[in-house]
Amino acid sequence: MIKKFENDLLKLPNATLLGSDDVEYIKLSNGLLAKCHISPYMFLAGNINDNEINHHFDDKKEIKLFCHEINFETFFKLGWKLSPRVELSYKGGEINHIASDEINIALLDENNFQNCTWYDFMLTIYKDKSSFLKRNFGFIALIGGEIAGECYTCATSNEKAEIAIITSEKFRNKGIASILTKCLINECLKRNLIPIWTCATENIPSFKTALRNNFCIDKYYLHPHNKVKI
């Protein structure tokens, strides 16, 4: 039965996060809970009862949970917010990107990573810069020596790599997101990894960028989290 729950965990959205070093697996009476100690992410397969929720969930801390539909009602009744999201995967082959004289593309490394917009956020998932760069890779776009955009994997498994991307507000509408996405897609394919994209359904620019770059919708899902009370 545990093996079944382990397989069910891997079918959840964002399951690439289960490849990190800080995951603890907790056996439940009729399920399995995977808890990331550094980040607020938790994954649930099977069922969880009230006593197990009280024991394993600290309501004073932010929790972002991935679980199957059978548990949505339980957490909704606890006052958690159920945010609609979408997961897509890349279905094409290697692609060319249009070069730009204005935009320079550089590999993500230990020197430029700390200047990235999402540096602090990524360190909430990985304990330090070295841990992140050991597992992930990506690119930055530079305009006039300033980081205009960043695109890198934020979680990788043996088969998949989830993409994180953001463009600086002052440099938007220059095609930077698509250029960076194409660069990272090609790098993922070289490493025999399937690129994965997730975003909130209301994040239309992110959604459109994925669709324009040959990502196809795999699933829509609800993401329970306790950060915002209803």
Whether 135 and 41 share a structural domain: no
Identify the band that residue 10 occupies on the pLDDT scale cut at 50, 70 and 90: confident
Q: Tell whether 40 is covered by a domain.
A: yes
Q: What is the mean pLDDT of the segment spanning 154-175?
A: 90
Whether 93 and 81 share a structural domain: no
User: What does the alpha-carbon distance between residue 198 and residue 207 come to, in Å, rounded to a whole number?
Assistant: 8
- How many structural domains does the chain have? 2
pTM: 0.84
- Domain carrying residue 209: 89-219
Three-class DSSP category at 69? helix
Whether 81 and 187 share a structural domain: no
Spatial CA neighbour of 140 closest among 124, 118, 170, 162: 118
pLDDT cut 70: percent of the chain above it: 95
User: What does the alpha-carbon distance between residue 205 and residue 208 come to, in Å, rounded to a whole number?
Assistant: 5
Decide if 7 contacts 18 (C-beta within 8 A).
no
Q: Tell whether 60 is covered by a domain.
A: yes
Q: How many beta carbons lie within 10 A of that of residue 135, not counting itself?
A: 19
Q: Tell whether 230 is covered by a domain.
A: no
Whether 80 and 93 share a structural domain: no
Q: What is the four-CA torsion angle of 87, 91, 96, 98, rounded to 10 degrees?
A: -40
Whether 22 and 129 share a structural domain: no
- Interval 20-33: pLDDT, tens: 667 889 999 999 99
- Interval 107-146: pLDDT, tens: 999 999 999 999 998 888 887 899 889 889 999 999 998 9
Whether 200 and 155 share a structural domain: yes
